[in-house]
Chain A
């Protein structure tokens, strides 16, 4: 017991101290870490939908987009510049505090999840996949085109000058100076995301070990048997959709503040697919697996981007780092699934049970 606590403590300290160590090699590395954590948050959310409830959602990024645009609209000059009446209401500009915007973004995403879920959740599994995919695309088309007749999303150019977070008076947009020691802005975000990931892991773990979590898994394993056990599958699926969407919404507002800029490009189908791949490659429904998958798929290729700079010259521009990255992701998806169809880190097993004595042949 004491031993476990010690290990835990060491891990915690290491995780918190990591960016301070890494930033010596450049801020870019800390940014990679923070982005990886953000993806982890997304993967944890999608895991509720795909991993626990077994609903294949190929448009998860739509919820991410809803959260991101929500924050971007309520904490950037775009709306006040476009609509004089809003400017009149907020003479000092629209700078909603995160305590308002993040819950709002989460709530709106959850609402979107439930609205989408209500008509489609009775569909067969693979139909659901294509409908959610379509929903993701619809959201993206709207982001791209809602600049006419009134400019809401600013189209493909996206929204910029988004406020950084301010939490307890600490402005995340500027380095924090503590006793002569300066902590970079990305490091602050890293800590914030780390806290969120840890919190989410706890929440997911608690859900997993509850009546609701078991009901989700029962639906995933055999929907008819689940119904026959008295589970209201429609409500449970909606709950999973709503919960997953909430995670997506929160991550979205984090993303908007972290980047300071959002545009439809960040919410493409490819992004949805990457998140699904993280969940499945890592180990569907198993938290350590999901985290591993998210970290691996988001961080490794980024690292590569830094390492493989000279490659482009060697290959006459055909093989630059981003192409190599894409190639590696593709190969990883294929090879990992072929070698480990249940994912890199599937839930541990007790092994095969011997038949009971009375039933022995």
Chain B
């Protein structure tokens, strides 16, 4: 019944002698939070980079919203509906928080040179709309009061939330978050979890890389476990937790702390 947002099959990627991904495939349905976990260096970020067009895969087929797409040009992928955040935060440091989110609106707006130079009525209306939407999104992630600050001056947690707001501004079919909780303390993580829950409730589909097992298990509908570039398990959190290979490769350490 439910509609498939992202369907990726047989993705492989090699760096010199290192097989970073071999034959990975996932299928995400609308409204899901889909988790991608695995030990350090497992290839999670590489997978993100491949589906968003940053790295060219050696093999793989890609479908977004039922349409096949070629992840060759990064900006095209964004246009078609995947927005992402980065593991090591990549905001536009000298631009204000508000401007960062406004850049996110780029791909859904149209005004060009003529509009800008002559300040046409249409241009002004669109600008007002962009600003309004950006304010809304800052509010949505809880940093409205920081709108006028340069993004490099924001605290770490606020920068992560700003990145999410910027990604949401592109109205993505799928929003891909690369370790959004990295470096956050417990309180911040609770707030983040609420935010991700809210994004899901508002009808978005989320692909989430996360090391924090508790967070992943609590949030995700399904997940995939990568290890050395191979997909060693796929299923609901419960299934994955019971999977022998996963316990061995990854959750082993995690279980002790439970």
Contact = CB atoms under 8 A, between A and B. Distances in A.
A228 B74 contact: yes
Interface in A199-254: 203, 206-207, 209-215, 217-218, 221-222, 224-233, 239
Given A222-B91, A227-B78, A355-B158, A350 B148 contact: yes
B153 to A, nearest CB: 4
B107 A230 contact: yes
B117 A206 contact: yes
A361 B185 CA distance: 8
B116 A206 contact: yes
Contacts of B52: 228
Interface stretch (B25-33, B96-104, B217-225, B249-257): B96-104
A352 interface: yes
Interface string B135-148: 00000001101101
Contacts of B22: none
17 contacts: A211-B116, A213-B116, A215-B103, A217-B99, A218-B92, A218-B106, A221-B92, A228-B54, A228-B78, A228-B86, A231-B106, A349-B153, A350-B96, A350-B148, A355-B154, A356-B146, A359-B185
A358 interface: yes
Nearest 6 pairs of A and B residues by beta carbon: A230-B107, A230-B78, A355-B155, A210-B116, A221-B92, A359-B157
A239 B145 CA distance: 34
A351 interface: yes
B166 interface: yes
A257 B94 CA distance: 40
Given A214-B102, A222-B92, A353-B153, A229 B111 contact: no
A231 B117 CA distance: 20
Contacts of B127: 209-211
Contacts of A347: 94
Given A221-B92, A230-B170, A356-B157, A215 B143 contact: no
Interface residues of B, number: 56
Contacts of B184: 359
Interface in B165-200: 166, 170, 184-185, 187-188, 191
Interface of B: 52, 54, 74-75, 78-79, 83-84, 86, 90-96, 99, 102-107, 109, 111-113, 115-117, 119, 123, 126-127, 130, 142-143, 145-146, 148-150, 153-158, 161, 166, 170, 184-185, 187-188, 191
Given A211-B109, A353-B149, A358-B187, A227 B92 contact: no
Given A211-B105, A214-B95, A359-B158, 4 more contacts: A211-B130, A353-B158, A355-B158, A358-B188
Chain B CB within 10 Å — which of A218, A222, A230, A285 has the most? A230
Contact of B94 (A221, A224, A225, A232): A221
A349 B95 CA distance: 10
Interface of A: 203, 206-207, 209-215, 217-218, 221-222, 224-233, 239, 285, 347, 349-356, 358-361
A215 B105 CA distance: 10
A352 B54 CA distance: 32
Contacts of B93: 221-222
A228 B113 contact: no
Contacts of A233: 75
Contacts of A360: 187
B78 A359 contact: no
Chain B CB within 10 Å — which of A213, A222, A361 has the most? A222
A224 B89 CA distance: 12
A225 B86 contact: yes
Contact of B74 (A212, A213, A222, A227): A227
